[in-house]
Amino acid sequence: MVLLQDRPRGQLPEYAALKLARFTKLNDAEQQRVRDGEEPALFYLAKDEARYGLKQENAVDLNSLVRVHASAILTKPVGHLDVNEVDVLGRRLAKFLDIDLGPDIKAGIAERWEAIVAAQQARRSQP
């Protein structure tokens, strides 16, 4: 299972998560499509015990969005995704669920641009 969020404030006892699909349930051609990123509903995770905590290849199943109660999580995380993988997974999930991120992205760009301009103006006004 891949937890999609943290609850640093602890306000909700549930987490959004995606289930893993075992590669052993896919035929050779399907496995290769997943490895090549050609299967939009599955995000490839290589066999990498140190990184992902996985002893075999798996795929994150974008069809399996679930809520998991905190009491059902019995162990500490056994692996993690890097920043790029989180970004790719998030974008694919948003596209898969038909969520329009455009307005949020535009707002984020505008906010960042305003901060850059304000910082430059502040530097120029210093003696």
What is the per-residue pLDDT for 29? 95
8-state DSSP, 26: S
Q: Which pLDDT value is given to residue 70?
A: 82
Edge-to-edge strand order for the sheet containing 42-45?
A: 2-3, 14-22, 58-69, 42-45
Predicted TM-score (pTM) above 0.75: no
- At residue 22, the 3 state secondary structure works out as strand
CB 92 within 8 A of CB 44: no
What is the average pLDDT value for the chain, to the nearest integer? 87
Question: In the chain, what are the domains?
Answer: 2-100 (2.30.30.110)
pLDDT confidence tier of residue 28, bands split at 50, 70 and 90:
very high
CB-based contact 2:81 (threshold 8 Å):
yes
Return the SS3 of 8: coil
Q: What would the pLDDT profile of 40-85 be if each residue is shown by its tens digit?
A: 899 999 998 888 888 899 999 999 988 888 888 877 778 888 989 9
Q: Where are the beta strands (DSSP E) in 4-57?
A: 14-22, 42-45
Residue 117: predicted pLDDT: 94
